[in-house]
């Protein structure tokens, strides 16, 4: 494993951009060191943002979950693939576009509230199929999407994640749904969320920080770490989700550093700032 202290100047980091699933928690369980790490960042004047590719739920659901887990969080602490998608559609698509959404009711509601025209079925005026992490997926949605893609509708998706981590293993994510459509229709989507750096750019706009002060932290190489790599900022891979240290060693977008979990990242951050390990001192008394 690479030497984190040599390659990563943690003492300079003020903005921590954090994936959620597989990094901070698994379902309803906080991962080791996550709560202590977040508390330390806030206590020492730092800032964190939760950057999630999960489009199946809105920020309100994320806030409720973090509070259930005992993590202080405000609406402004979240940047989601849905927000990145809305930003992308406003910037890159025509105002008259009409969308068929393969996604949850929450995803559809957020898009409608943002002013986009949506259709419930394979209507003739649909100009683009938009796929998210759909935990309410039906075969009818897949068939409708295939009909529209066959007619020439554009193919867009919130994120390329193939699997979402759970306590028992993994379940299919947006990337797997898109792969099924690709297999059937021979079409590949334009992915909008991580690894596209839009969410990181939005975080910089919100906070005023830049790449030198930022650390992107996540468990997935081809989304989280690639997102930081594409934005030109340092990255830290935690081994609590999908990727392994062996995966990191051969990645096209290698992390700046690899840590066992957020607890190990916290210990490294304290060491970089030349602070004593209080947990060790307490155990010795």
67, containing H or E segment: helix 59-68
Which of 19, 77, 196, 234 does the annotation list as catalytic? Answer: 19
Q: Residue 211 and residue 229: Cα distance in Å, rounded?
A: 10
- Given a contact cutoff of 8 angstroms between Cβ atoms, the answer to whether 174 and 161 are in contact is yes
Q: Residue 222 and residue 88: Cα distance in Å, rounded?
A: 20
Does residue 224 carry a catalytic annotation?
A: no
Beta strands 15-18; 214-218: pairing state: parallel
- Given a contact cutoff of 8 angstroms between Cβ atoms, the answer to whether 46 and 18 are in contact is no
How far are the Cα atoms of 111, 116, 175, 227, 244 from residue 237, in angstroms, in the given order? 31, 36, 20, 12, 9
Q: Residue 213 and residue 125: Cα distance in Å, rounded?
A: 46
Does residue 21 carry a catalytic annotation?
A: yes
> Can you tell me which residue has the tokens 């939760």?
50
Which of 9, 21, 77, 97 does the annotation list as catalytic? Answer: 21
**Residues 71/78/118/121 CA torsion (nearest 10 deg):** -50
Q: Residue 214 and residue 204: Cα distance in Å, rounded?
A: 9
Return the SS3 of 18: strand
Active site residues: 19, 21
């Amino acid at each position: 494993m690479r030497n984190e202290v040599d390659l990563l100047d943690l003492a300079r980091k003020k903005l921590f951009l954090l994936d959620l699933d597989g990094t901070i928690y698994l379902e309803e369980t906080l991962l080791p060191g996550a709560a202590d790490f977040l508390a330390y960042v806030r206590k020492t004047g730092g800032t964190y943002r939760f950057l999630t590719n999960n489009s199946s739920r809105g920020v309100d659901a994320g806030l409720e979950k973090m509070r259930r887990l005992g993590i202080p969080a405000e609406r402004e602490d979240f940047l989601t693939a849905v927000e990145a998608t809305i930003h992308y559609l406003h910037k890159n698509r025509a105002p008259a576009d009409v969308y068929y959404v393969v996604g949850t009711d929450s995803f559809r509601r957020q898009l409608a509230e943002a002013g986009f025209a949506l259709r419930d079925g394979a209507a003739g005026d649909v100009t683009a199929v938009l796929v998210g992490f759909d935990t309410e997926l039906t075969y009818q949605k897949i068939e409708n999407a295939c009909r529209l893609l066959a007619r020439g509708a554009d193919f867009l998706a919130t994120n390329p994640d193939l699997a979402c981590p759970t306590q028992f293993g993994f379940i299919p994510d947006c990337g797997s749904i898109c792969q099924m459509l690709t297999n059937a229709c021979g079409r590949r989507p334009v992915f909008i969320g991580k690894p596209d750096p839009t969410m990181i750019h939005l975080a910089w706009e919100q906070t005023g920080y830049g790449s030198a002060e930022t650390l992107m932290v996540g468990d997935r190489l081809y989304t989280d770490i690639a997102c930081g790599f594409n934005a030109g900022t340092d990255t830290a891979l935690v081994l609590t989700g999908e990727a392994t240290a062996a995966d990191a060693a051969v990645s096209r977008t290698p992390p700046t550093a690899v840590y066992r979990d957020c607890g190990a990242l916290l210990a490294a951050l304290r060491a970089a700032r030349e602070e004593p390990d209080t947990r060790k001192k307490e155990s010795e008394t």
